[in-house]
């Protein structure tokens, strides 16, 4: 499920704020990507090659499973440390997108 959410998170724009940190982690270099490459698309391709599900729905998650998650995510400790804090409405949209 993390692979489904990771690409949505990158698409959301968190990568723009993580550019320096990603360079420090050398993700692009290790992946053989040029500076500014689309990491979300690279992860999608990696997921396909590994045979990982492309959506939460493919893992058995259904829409009612998402009830309450956006509000909990907004209040959760990870949101405070994220480079781009996410409101519950944003979380709801991201979860629906990851649901597929």
Domain ranges within the chain, ordered by starting residue: 2-99
For range 90-99, the mean pLDDT: 90
What is residue 8's predicted lDDT score, i.e. its pLDDT? 72
Could you give the percent of the chain with pLDDT greater than 90?
27
Residues 6+ apart with CB under 8 A from 88: 70, 71, 73, 74
Give tens-digit pLDDT for 47-61: 899 999 989 999 999
What is residue 89's predicted lDDT score, i.e. its pLDDT? 94
State how far the Cα of 100 lies from the Cα of 96, in Å rounded to an integer.
7
HSE-CB at 62 with a 13 A cutoff on CA atoms is 1
What is residue 14's predicted lDDT score, i.e. its pLDDT? 57
Q: Angle at the Cα of 43 (from 78 to 77), degrees rounded to 5? A: 0
What does the CA dihedral 64, 13, 43, 37 come to, rounded to 10 degrees? 160
Q: Which residue in this structure is represented by tokens 């360079």?
A: 23
Q: Looking at the predicted structure, is the pLDDT value of residue 85 above 60?
A: yes
């Amino acid at each position: 499920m993390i692979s489904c959410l990771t690409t949505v998170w990158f698409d959301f724009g968190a990568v723009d704020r993580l550019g320096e940190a990603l360079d420090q982690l050398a993700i692009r270099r290790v992946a053989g990507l040029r500076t500014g490459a689309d990491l979300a698309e690279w992860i999608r391709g990696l997921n396909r090659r590994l045979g990982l599900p492309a959506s939460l729905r493919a893992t058995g998650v259904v829409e009612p499973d998402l009830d309450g998650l956006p509000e909990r995510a907004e209040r959760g400790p990870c949101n405070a440390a994220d480079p781009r804090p996410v409101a519950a409405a944003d979380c709801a949209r991201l979860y629906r997108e990851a649901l597929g």
